[in-house]
């Protein structure tokens, strides 16, 4: 998990480090000592959301419309001009006075400064500074932080030179990291069981539970939740009860990687089968270590060596054959080898030094959730960090609630749960989705506000759709430094083609870009392939095979690029072209929104500002636009600014007012329609 320092985040948010520290401590119970303390990315994201949420709220409450705002600027400007004229008359030569002071005035500030502080430092009236900011296109409130570069421009107007102060020393960093470690303590490993159908995943999970849980629990397990914890010689292991790599990868595609170790079940009498290979590749793509359980050892046809031999074909060499893959022969039926398997899992987990901080507010992931007639939304949560307490207010994905009741894996009521412990909770307002993250926050009100703002963000994101890698834009992504590797999933009609395509594609790797086939198999392109592609940012290539219906709909939803070919050469050529940026995409135009110009304002330093109302869809600051007057396209261009009230907006939705200006164009008239559009690449190759 990546980290950020308090002062860095504070700067990003435009608040002081002190304010941020109190927010962190009060809202999230995150212990931070000073501005140099490091915080987890996830906490940073939550704080950002919290602040964004309150901003949206306050924006909604503002009564002044965008038009009022622009009117004010225009008025100010007129006043300013007449004042200047008056002053000029009075002083005769203003300019000379300015020159006198210019050389002596050098002021030192940091990377950012609030408008208020800047005014003090520049010894200028605050209103004047704000006005100057506005005239240079920056709408900032008194307490808002502005960057050094913006401050520099304003200072120039007063003939004052700004100097950037050096940032804090680095000495404290090392100490802080050691401090952080002190808060961490060992946590149980979280384990997922995978394997081919009928190789015994469910039986193995049952055998482990019976061997280790039932003994201590009178009456056995009454309550079944999506995960359970077992005790092995004083150490604990948590098993996720949804076997199979599909669920594992579906969670990963949603950004939730909760598994520390995978148990790969292979039936000793059947060997490696297609889904075993899928499971191996899904583990590799997720970079999770695996332990092989060679199951059904009680069966007459059991053959350990054959399984080990077959594993080597997938880069897994058993320890006793000189490799580092742990293989344990077991029988879920007779319980033979179950103890050794658990010991091996403990050892594998130890190698990873899994740690968490139990003394902070709980956070983790939803394992499963459903609506229960009598009890409402019921969710199985896996605590990954901190401690979850009865009565805690939590935000879960875009839903929220207060924990009314909490149960452990055997259905017993509990009051708290620490890291790696699965619990079932009641009290959520809606049913969350498996893979959703949860976080404990200060109170229910905060949780509700955050959930609301997440919901509207989700809606927006859904419209925008996350951008995944596609062959068409792969070259751009390489150029922008976003990717260094092209991950590919290959599906073909016969094994010969699978091998041929895989090796030809991998040979295309260069020093700059690696082509990596993360999964290759015979058969149609399935939903599982698409989910793996989504989770691993890969493209899917089909040769003489097609995606099934589920795969098509999931690919559309998750924006996964599927290409199908009937000539191997064409597939290779396409990838080659993608790598050197030669693949010309075919585009289609998509209208994203329409706005009507209701008022226009001319401001000499800005140009014509159009006060608009969004009729349909939405308008994004970066969209291409065209101006339509009486049904005739007058102009194709881009926006040079888009504002909601006084703030720059990235996007404005239907039903809202906005102010905008068009690049190098001022002849905007009331009644004009502005149409925003994007060019979307369309799937280029079909069979």
Ligand X SMILES: Nc1nc2c(ncn2[C@@H]2O[C@H](COP(=O)(O)OP(=O)(O)OP(=O)(O)O)[C@@H](O)[C@H]2O)c(=O)[nH]1
Q: Which residues would be at the binding site for ligand X (CB under 6 A)?
A: 195, 197-203, 243, 295-296, 298-299, 331-333
CB of 320 to ligand X, least distance (A): 21
**Residue 7: enclosing H or E segment and its boundaries?**
helix 6-13
Contact status, residue 147 vs residue 138, Cβ threshold 8 Å: no
CB of 299 to ligand X, least distance (A): 5
Which residue lies nearer to ligand X by CB, 331 or 384? Answer: 331
CB of 298 to ligand X, least distance (A): 5
List the strands of the sheet with 514-522, edge to edge.
Answer: 514-522, 485-492, 538-543, 562-565
CB of 526 to ligand X, least distance (A): 15
* Tokens 């009075």, residue located: 90
Which residue lies nearer to ligand X by CB, 298 or 452? Answer: 298
Which residue lies nearer to ligand X by CB, 46 or 268? Answer: 268
CB of 50 to ligand X, least distance (A): 42
Task: Write out the two tokens for 608.
Answer: 């014509």
Which residue lies nearer to ligand X by CB, 523 or 607? Answer: 523
> Measuring CA to CA, how many Å separate 285 from each of 19, 252, 522, 648?
41, 10, 19, 40
Which residue lies nearer to ligand X by CB, 281 or 385? Answer: 281
Contact status, residue 579 vs residue 478, Cβ threshold 8 Å: yes
Q: Give the pairing type, strands 326-329 and 290-295.
A: parallel
Closest-CA residue to 434 (of 651, 591, 255, 275): 255
- What is the Cβ-side half-sphere exposure of residue 262, based on CA atoms within 13 angstroms? 28
Question: Phi and psi for 620 in degrees, rounded to 5?
Answer: -105, 145
Task: Write out the two tokens for 348.
Answer: 């594998």
Closest-CA residue to 203 (of 259, 282, 265, 262): 265
CB of 205 to ligand X, least distance (A): 8
CB of 616 to ligand X, least distance (A): 48
Q: Give the pairing type, strands 437-441 and 376-385.
A: unpaired
CB of 197 to ligand X, least distance (A): 4
639, β-bridge pairs = 662
Which residue lies nearer to ligand X by CB, 206 or 430? Answer: 206
Which residue lies nearer to ligand X by CB, 47 or 294? Answer: 294
CB of 208 to ligand X, least distance (A): 12
By residue count, the chain amounts to 687
CB of 35 to ligand X, least distance (A): 52
Closest-CA residue to 34 (of 238, 216, 242, 173): 173
Which residue lies nearer to ligand X by CB, 209 or 643? Answer: 209
Which residue lies nearer to ligand X by CB, 196 or 252? Answer: 196
Which residue lies nearer to ligand X by CB, 122 or 344? Answer: 344
Label residue 260 exposed, middle or buried (CB < 10 Å: 0-12, 13-18, 19+).
Answer: buried
CB of 275 to ligand X, least distance (A): 8
What residue ranges in 419-560 does DSSP mark as E strands?
Answer: 422-428, 437-441, 485-492, 514-522, 538-543
What is the sign of the dihedral through the CA atoms of 377, 379, 385 and 390? positive
CA–CA dist 600, 608 (Å, integer):
7
Which residue lies nearer to ligand X by CB, 195 or 435? Answer: 195
């Amino acid at each position: 998990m990546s980290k950020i320092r308090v002062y860095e985040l504070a700067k990003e948010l435009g608040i002081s480090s002190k304010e941020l520290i109190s927010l962190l401590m009060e809202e999230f119970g995150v212990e931070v000592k000073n501005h140099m303390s490091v915080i987890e990315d996830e906490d940073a994201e939550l704080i950002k959301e919290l602040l964004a949420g309150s901003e949206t709220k306050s924006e909604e409450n503002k009564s002044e419309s965008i038009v009022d705002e622009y009117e004010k600027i225009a008025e100010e400007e007129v006043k300013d001009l007449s004042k200047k004229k008056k002053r000029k008359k009075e002083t005769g030569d203003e300019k000379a006075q300015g020159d006198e002071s210019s050389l002596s005035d050098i002021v030192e500030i940091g990377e950012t400064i609030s408008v208020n502080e800047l005014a003090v430092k520049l010894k200028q009236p605050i209103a004047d500074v704000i006005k100057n900011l506005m005239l240079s296109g920056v709408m900032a409130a008194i307490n808002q932080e502005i960057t050094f570069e913006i401050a520099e421009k304003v200072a120039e107007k007063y003939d004052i030179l700004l100097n950037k102060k050096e940032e804090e020393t680095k000495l404290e960093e090392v100490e802080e990291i050691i401090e952080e470690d002190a808060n961490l303590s060992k946590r149980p490993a979280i384990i997922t069981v995978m394997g081919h159908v009928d190789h015994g995943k469910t039986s193995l999970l049952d055998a482990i539970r019976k061997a280790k849980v039932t003994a201590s629990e009178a009456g056995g397990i009454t309550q079944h939740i999506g995960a359970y914890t077992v005790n092995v010689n004083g150490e604990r292991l948590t098993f996720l009860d949804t076997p199979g790599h599909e669920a594992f990868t579906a969670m990963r595609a949603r950004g939730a990687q909760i598994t520390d170790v995978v148990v790969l079940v292979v039936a000793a009498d059947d060997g490696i089968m297609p889904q075993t290979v899928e499971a191996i590749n899904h583990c590799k793509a997720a970079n999770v270590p695996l332990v092989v359980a060679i199951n059904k050892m009680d069966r007459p046809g059991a053959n350990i060596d054959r399984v080990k031999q077959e594993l080597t074909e997938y880069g897994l060499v058993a320890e006793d054959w000189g490799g580092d893959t742990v293989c344990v022969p077991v029988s879920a039926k007779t319980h033979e080898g179950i103890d050794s398997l658990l010991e091996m899992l403990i050892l594998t987990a130890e190698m990873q030094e899994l740690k968490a901080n139990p003394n902070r507010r709980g956070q983790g992931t939803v394992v499963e959730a459903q609506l229960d007639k009598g009890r409402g939304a019921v969710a199985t949560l896996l605590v990954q960090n901190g401690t979850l307490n009865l009565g805690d207010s939590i935000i879960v994905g875009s839903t929220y609630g207060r924990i009314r009741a909490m149960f452990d894996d055997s259905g017993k009521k509990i009051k708290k749960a620490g890291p790696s412990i699965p619990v079932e909770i009641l009290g959520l307002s809606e049913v969350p989705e498996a893979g959703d993250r949860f976080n404990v926050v200060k109170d229910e009100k905060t949780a509700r506000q955050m959930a609301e703002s997440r919901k509207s963000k989700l809606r927006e994101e859904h419209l925008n759709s996350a951008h995944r890698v596609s062959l068409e834009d792969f070259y751009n992504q390489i150029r922008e430094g976003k990717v260094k590797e092209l991950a590919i999933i290959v599906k073909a009609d016969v094994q010969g083609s699978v091998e041929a395509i895989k090796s030809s594609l991998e040979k295309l790797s260069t020093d700059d870009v690696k082509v990596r086939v993360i999964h290759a198999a015979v058969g149609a392109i399935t939903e599982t392939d698409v989910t793996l592609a989504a989770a691993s940012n890969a493209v899917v290539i089909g040769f003489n095979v097609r995606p099934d219906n589920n795969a098509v709909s999931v690919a559309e939803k998750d924006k996964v690029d599927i290409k199908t070919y009937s000539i191997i050469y064409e597939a290779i050529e396409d990838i080659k072209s993608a790598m050197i940026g030669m693949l010309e995409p075919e585009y289609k135009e998509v209208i994203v929104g329409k706005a009507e110009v209701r008022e226009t304002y001319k401001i000499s330093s800005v140009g014509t500002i159009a006060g608009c109302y969004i009729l349909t869809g939405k308008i994004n600051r970066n969209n291409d636009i065209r101006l339509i007057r009486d049904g005739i396209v007058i102009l194709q261009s881009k926006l040079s600014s888009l504002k909601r009230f006084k703030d720059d907006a990235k996007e404005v939705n239907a039903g809202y007012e906005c102010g905008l200006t068009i690049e190098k164009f001022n002849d905007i008239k009331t009644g004009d329609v502005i149409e925003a559009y994007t060019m979307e690449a369309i799937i280029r190759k079909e069979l």
